[in-house]
Amino acid sequence: MIHTTVVGETHDLRALRLSRAVDDLLAAGKSRVAIVHSVFRRVTNLRLDSGYLLSLSAPEVALAPNGVAIEMPADSTMTSVGLRPGQAATLSVLGLQILEACLHVTFAGAAHWEPRPRARGADRSDLCSAALAARAMLIAEGGPDSLLPLLWIRDGPDMAEPTDFVARAAGPATLLCAAAARHDPWGVRAASRRLAGLGPGLTPSGDDLLAGFLASWVLTCEAMGVQVGPRDRVASAILQGAAPRASELGGVWLAHAVRGEVAEPMGRFFTALFAGDPGNLPSAVRSVLALGATSGTDWLVGAVLGTEAALRAAARPLGVT
């Protein structure tokens, strides 16, 4: 039951959907202490005692791999149900309680959502064609003020002078792609360190690009049968390089991406990509592009580059540089 929003009133809310990754996090059974980290109109982030950020969102918001969708009236906001940054919270497998907000969310009966798209059984030829189609759509429809120019410039001359922001990313992005394709964790680590934290926002553009690259690398390598050892060494190197500079939320996306876990729009993108499904790919790409001012575009730039690097890695025998 959801009570009408009145200051000081108790709000008993119900979780509608729960990411499997969040359920795994809480499955140990003990209560976890958290604080309200940030409050937006229809999304609230909680910081657990471990530093992990958990996202509470309204039903219409795409579910994140660290997310719980809760029942909320359409005309309500996270603020109107009493949430403020800094409030103490208690989490368990049963639900969430924030005493200062008079808020209780029960997880009983919530549907579980799998944040890791299926990556096995992709046809190489179909995947190459789908990756080229995704690249073309991204170039045609990607947002401005993003890292989109990285798809046509590298560390060299270009028809148009890149902005300082893009120019700073070009070198490390080139290194990241080349080093990952040749299974070079040292080069990957150095490139990731230079990209992490690059740009403004709650999740800087460099963090979004790395999250897209990492998820795509892990899933495409799995789809193409790249050996687990080389695949995981590259993935771990991205995390290690990014860790000192990535934003708080960017670090969470990366921690999920290394396991192939992504938000719902990104999951639909990978599903269409690996299925070689030209009919669903355009809508999947556009659903990612709609995220944030530049986050969707920057993430897709990374995903396209990660897929291309993984395809090159799959075609190169180990030990060949």
Which among 85, 113, 141 is the end of a domain?
A: 113
Between CA 252 and CA 259, with CA 255 as vertex, the angle to 5 degrees is 140
pLDDT at 161 over 70: no
Is 91 in the same domain as 186? no
Q: Could you tell me if 226 and 174 lie in one domain?
A: yes
Min mean pLDDT across 116-130, 163-177, 225-239, 305-319 is at 305-319
SS3 content of the chain, % helix, strand, coil (to 5): 45, 15, 40
Residues 26 and 137 both lie in one domain: no
Q: Does residue 2 sit within a domain?
A: no
Buried b (16+ CB within 10 A) or exposed e, 197-218: bbbebebbbbbbbbbbbbbbbb
Backbone torsions φ then ψ of 112, nearest 5 degrees: -95, 135
Mean pLDDT of 7-27: 86
- Other beta carbons within 10 Å of 75: 7
Assess whether 74 and 189 both reside in one domain: no
The pTM is what? 0.92
Asked, for residue 3, whether it belongs to a domain, the answer is: no
Q: Which domain holds residue 307?
A: 124-315
pLDDT of residue 155: 45
- Give the mean pLDDT of the chain: 90
Average of per-residue pLDDT across 28-41: 90
Residue 286: which of 269, 270, 305, 262 has the closest Cα?
269
* pLDDT tens per residue across span 91-148: 998 999 999 999 999 999 999 999 999 987 778 899 999 999 999 999 999 998 899 9
Q: How far apart are CA 58 and CA 126, in angstroms?
A: 36
Statement to judge: residues 241 and 284 lie in one domain = yes
Beta carbons within 10 angstroms of residue 125's beta carbon: 9
Q: What's the pLDDT at 215?
A: 98
User: 189 in a domain, yes or no?
Assistant: yes
pLDDT of residue 8: 55
Place of tokens 């729960």: 18
Q: Which two tokens stand for residue 234?
A: 């590259």
Residues 155, 102 within the same domain? no
Q: Which residue has the higher pLDDT, 155 or 274?
A: 274
Beta strands 11-19 and 67-70, pairing class: antiparallel
Tell whether 94 and 133 lie within a shared domain: no
Q: Please determine, for residue 318, whether its predicted confidence score (pLDDT) is greater than 70.
A: no
Residue 141: alpha-carbon gap to chain centroid: 20
**Residue 162: pLDDT over 70:** no
Same domain, 103 and 129: no
Judge if 63 and 169 occupy the same domain: no
19 part of a folded domain:
yes
Choosing from 90, 113, 136, the residue where a domain stops is: 113
What's the pLDDT score for residue 229?
A: 92
Do 85 and 143 belong to one domain?
no
Residue 198: name the closest of 154, 157, 242 by CA: 242
Per mean pLDDT, which range of 139-148, 272-281, 310-319 is the poorest? 310-319
> pLDDT value at position 278?
72
- Asked if residue 23 belongs to a domain, the reply is yes
The CATH number of the domain holding residue 95 is 2.40.50
**Within a domain: 109:** yes
Q: Do 174 and 261 fall within a single domain?
A: yes
Please check whether residue 102 is in contact with residue 89, taking contact to mean a CB–CB distance below 8 angstroms: no
Residues 139 and 250 in one domain: yes
Q: How far is CA 303 from CA 22, 95, 209, 262, 310, in A?
A: 23, 34, 7, 11, 10
Inside any domain, residue 288: yes
Q: Residue 122: what pLDDT?
A: 79
Alpha-carbon distance of 40 to 83, in angstroms, equals: 10
Number of domains in the chain: 2
Residue 229 forms part of a structural domain: yes
Among 113, 139, 168, where does a domain finish? Answer: 113
Give the alpha-carbon dihedral of 211, 214, 219, 221, to 10 degrees: 160
Mean pLDDT of 1-13: 57
